[in-house]
Structure formats: structure tokens, C-alpha cells
Amino acid sequence: MRPKIPSALKRLLNKEKPNDFGNLCQAVRDHTLLDTERLLSLWTLINDINQREVIGDIVECGAYKGGSSAVLRAGMGAHRKLWIYDSFQGMPETSQRDCSEAKNWVGECAASVGDVLKILQATGASDADFIIREGWFQNSFKQALPEKVALLHCDADWYQSVILTLETFYPLMPKGACVIIDDFGYWEGCRTAYYDFCQKWGERPLLERQGKFQAYWIKGKEHNRNG
Ligand SMILES: C[S@@+](CC[C@H](N)C(=O)[O-])C[C@H]1O[C@@H](n2cnc3c(N)ncnc32)[C@H](O)[C@@H]1O
């Protein structure tokens, strides 16, 4: 399923019901680096896994101030938990696999657990809905993980962060689960991590692109012949 952004966006933004996507977008605006198109894509894809009844929790690696976390939480349904991973210390050092421009971002995007709590609560989350794992992925991924993951939003940009995220959570994802990689079309290291992951794991995903930056795929999906 590929979200049809322009018409869907127009329709959603025109709704006046509280808690609809347009209101949600407005509420999270100061808490996210994602534009409305990418937020709508998250919203559409999480609704898709709900409709297809894919079993598992939701994982976001790279939360910053929690705007995209709040959209995922609002869409995920009461039976799921949202697992949020971030250092809250800004972007880590880059590696040789990242481009030179990436070095300028080291230490940028620092936020706090408080920022994330604030927007989650403002958009209707209860404490039971989410788990925040603060720290570098290298450490926080060693703590207990979700049993199954229905949707993974990987928004961590650098080669090492992205490949570690994919290698940690992909084995927990059932067939039909959705992986979203933000900034696939922006950061070379992020894209290289995806290709290296695929090569190492023998994966050949049907990669879909959303706008200039985002990419996603449905695990195990082999073609789009049926829509
Ligand atoms: C682009 S921001 C996330 C944007 C966010 N999803 C939003 O809605 O605006 C990337 C985040 O990834 C986190 N990050 C990147 N690599 C990490 C790592 N190895 N361990 C922990 N956090 C990491 C950074 O702290 C930063 O908050």
C-alpha cells in the first residue's frame, strides 16, 4: 500500500474533529523535524498495519523532541506499546561510512525525555502506552526488547546507528511488518547502512520511497501487483 499524499493530506487537514491527523500535526509541529508529508506517511503506514492486524509493538529509534513518537502513539491502537530509543545527547560521532557534511551535525538535535513526555501527554498518551529507553543504542538495545515489532521507525541518520537498529529489531518483525527509514534520501551513511544490512542478511526488500527523503518496506512483500 502506497500512501497517496496530496489528496489524502488535503482531506485529512480539512477535518475539524479533535484528534484527527490535521490537529495532531499542528500539535506536534514544534516537537519534530519531519514535514507534514512524512508525518502523514507514518500515520498512513501505522493505520495500514492496524488494518492488516500485524502483531507487535511499535519502535522508534531517534525521537528528538518526540513529535514523530506522538504521531505513532496516536495511531497505534490500545493493544500496542511504543518503545522510544534516544540518547537525548544529540547526534553521535560519525564514521567513515557517513558523508563529510554529517560531521557538522554531531551534537545537534539534543532534546530531553521531558520534551518527549510533554508532547506524548499533550496528545493523549497514558503512561502505559510507552517505554522510553534513554541512552546510546549500543547500550539501550542490550536491555529487554519488545517480543515482536509490527512497525519500526528508524530515524537515526548515521551508518552505525541505522545498521544497529536494523540488525536489532528486524529479527523481531513478523511477515507483514513495516520498516520506515527516514533520511534515506538525505544521508549517504543511512542509505549505505540499508544496503549493507540487506547484503549481510540476504534481504531483497521491495523498497518504496515517500517524498525525497523517506523509504519504507513491508517485510516479506514481493510485489505490488495486488495494489
Ligand atoms: C533526526 S533526529 C530524530 C527526529 C525525530 N524523529 C523527529 O520527529 O523530529 C535523530 C535522533 O537520533 C538520535 N540518535 C542517533 N544515533 C543514536 C544512537 N546511536 N544512540 C542513541 N540515539 C541516537 C539523536 O539523539 C537524535 O535525537
Residues 2 and 149: their CA atoms lie apart, in Å, by: 20
pTM for this prediction: 0.93
- pLDDT mean over 160-170: 98
Q: What is the pLDDT of residue 207?
A: 98
Q: What is the distance in A from the centroid of ligand 1 to the CA of 11?
A: 31
Number of the ligand 1 atom closest to the C-alpha atom of 161 = 19
Question: Is residue 144 predicted with pLDDT exceeding 90?
Answer: yes
Residue 15 pLDDT more than 50?
no
Confidence (pLDDT) at 226: 87
Average pLDDT of 131-140?
98
Ligand 1, atom nearest to 90 Cα: 25
| CA dist., res. 155 & res. 161, Å (int) | 9
What is the average per-residue pLDDT within 91-106?
98
Mean pLDDT of the region 6-32: 70
Calculate mean pLDDT across residues 49-65: 98
CA 64 – ligand 1 centroid, Å: 5
Ligand 1 atom at shortest distance from the alpha carbon of 164: 19
List the beta bridge partners of residue 151: 58, 178
CA of 227 to the centre of ligand 1 (A): 33
Sign of torsion, CA 141 88 77 225? Answer: negative
Q: Is the model more confident about 16 or about 110?
A: 110
Residue with the nearest Cα to atom 20 of ligand 1? 136
CA of 156 relative to ligand 1 center, distance in Å:
5
How far, in Å, from the CA of 48 to the mean position of ligand 1? 25
Mean pLDDT confidence for 219-225: 97
Q: Which residues line ligand 1 (CB under 6 A)?
A: 32-34, 62-64, 67-68, 86-87, 90-92, 109, 136-137, 155-158, 161
For residue 195, pLDDT beyond 60? yes
What radius of gyration do the chain's Cα atoms show?
Answer: 16
Q: Is the pLDDT of residue 191 over 80?
A: yes
Of 210, 219, 204, 64, nearest to 134 by C-alpha is: 64
Q: What value does the mean pLDDT take over residues 141-157?
A: 98
Which residues on neighbouring strands pair with residue 32, listed in sequence order? none
State mean pLDDT over 39-46: 97
